[in-house]
């Protein structure tokens, strides 16, 4: 069950699991209704909407924080997420904040250096060492790592934009350490799910622009070859969703793949991992576009 922002901690130790923060980057309309439109609610979804999907991707035992929310957004989002937390499979806890992530961090005694911003313009790719490795002892070097390890992982924005509008820029300017997830745009729930898989489950991105950082991370722990603890994620890029003859839409994002399924020709056909209900809503939106 979610709750509002909490006070700080007097002393901190490294957590068993990281926490995840979604900084609300949309400009709020003071005349907006007190409920999200249907499409925004889907980008909020577990069984129906995308923010619920974020809770499912992270899973129980950690917390997803939503920061810089307007009062109207908090009321609507709390109702939606509370229903998903009390029904169905166990999901991550959530907390809603009207304050920014910087304000929440100060209240909880978390330093900027402990927060990793997921940023497509970062020079280094995210790897499993960004959470799992131990901090160097006093007087020791960090074994070649540029910064980290991190306790919080921060994402900017709500919907993925096409073309990207660099919503992360205002967070980047605050000086957070940052990592990228590859050069192709992702929706926010996908980016969060990928981050969880990498830093908690030790998956590799396996992308051309992550190879150098991932090989360096493996070298630092003495592993020359991929092992079960460093499996590689499977991707679906710009998938075309087909609904019938002449009815299809191309999604301009990179997704994690669902478990591969047998294709019509006997091969393997991967489907993009999307929030439950997303395809149906896209179909309805496509149907509306043909109504005159």
pLDDT at 89: 84
**What would the pLDDT profile of 137-149 be if each residue is shown by its tens digit?**
444 444 556 688 9
pTM, two decimals, is 0.82
The correct answer on CATH 3.30.200.20 for the domain covering 3-7+17-226 is no
Delimiting residues of CATH 3.40.1280.30 domain(s) in the chain: 3-7+17-226
Residue 4 confidence (pLDDT): 42
**pLDDT tens across 260-286, in order?**
554 444 445 579 999 888 888 788 777
Distance separating alpha carbons of residues 50 and 81, to the nearest angstrom: 10
Terminus-to-terminus CA distance in the chain, angstroms? Answer: 43
Residue 113 burial class via C-beta count within 10 angstroms: exposed 0-12, middle 13-18, buried 19 and up: middle
Q: pLDDT tens across 244-253, in order? A: 888 888 999 9
Distance of alpha carbon 204 from alpha carbon 2, whole angstroms: 31
Residue 278 sits at φ, ψ, to 5 deg, of -65, -45
Mean pLDDT computed over 154-158: 82
Alpha helices in the chain (DSSP H): 38-42, 50-58, 71-86, 101-108, 129-132, 169-172, 188-199, 211-220, 278-289
Assign 2 a pLDDT band (cuts: 50, 70, 90). Answer: very low
């Amino acid at each position: 069950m979610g709750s509002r922002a909490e006070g700080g901690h007097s002393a901190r130790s490294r957590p068993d699991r990281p926490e995840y923060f979604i900084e609300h980057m949309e400009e709020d309309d003071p005349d907006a209704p007190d409920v999200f439109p249907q499409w925004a609610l889907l980008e909020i979804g577990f069984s129906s909407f995308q923010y619920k999907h974020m809770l499912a991707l992270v899973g129980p035992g950690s917390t997803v924080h939503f920061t810089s929310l307007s009062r109207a957004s908090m009321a609507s989002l709390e109702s939606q997420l509370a229903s998903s937390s009390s029904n169905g499979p166990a999901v991550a806890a959530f907390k809603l904040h009207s304050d920014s992530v910087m304000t929440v961090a100060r209240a909880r005694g978390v330093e900027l250096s402990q927060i990793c911003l997921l940023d497509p313009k970062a020079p280094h790719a995210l790897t499993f060492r960004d959470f799992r490795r131990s901090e160097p002892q006093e007087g020791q070097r960090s074994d070649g790592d540029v910064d980290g390890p991190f306790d919080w992982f921060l994402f900017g924005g709500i919907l993925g934009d096409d073309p990207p509008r660099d919503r992360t820029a205002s967070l980047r300017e605050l000086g957070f350490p940052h990592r990228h997830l590859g050069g192709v745009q992702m929706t926010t729930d996908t980016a969060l799910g990928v981050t969880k898989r990498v830093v908690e489950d030790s998956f590799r991105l396996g992308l051309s622009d992550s190879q150098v950082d991932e090989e360096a991370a493996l070298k630092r722990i003495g592993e020359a070859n991929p092992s079960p603890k460093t499996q590689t994620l499977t991707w679906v890029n710009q998938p075309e969703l087909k609904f019938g003859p002449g009815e299809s839409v191309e999604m301009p994002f990179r997704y994690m793949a669902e478990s591969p399924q047998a294709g019509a020709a006997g091969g393997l056909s991967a489907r993009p991992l999307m929030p439950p209900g997303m395809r149906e809503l896209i179909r309805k939106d496509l149907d509306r576009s043909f109504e005159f």
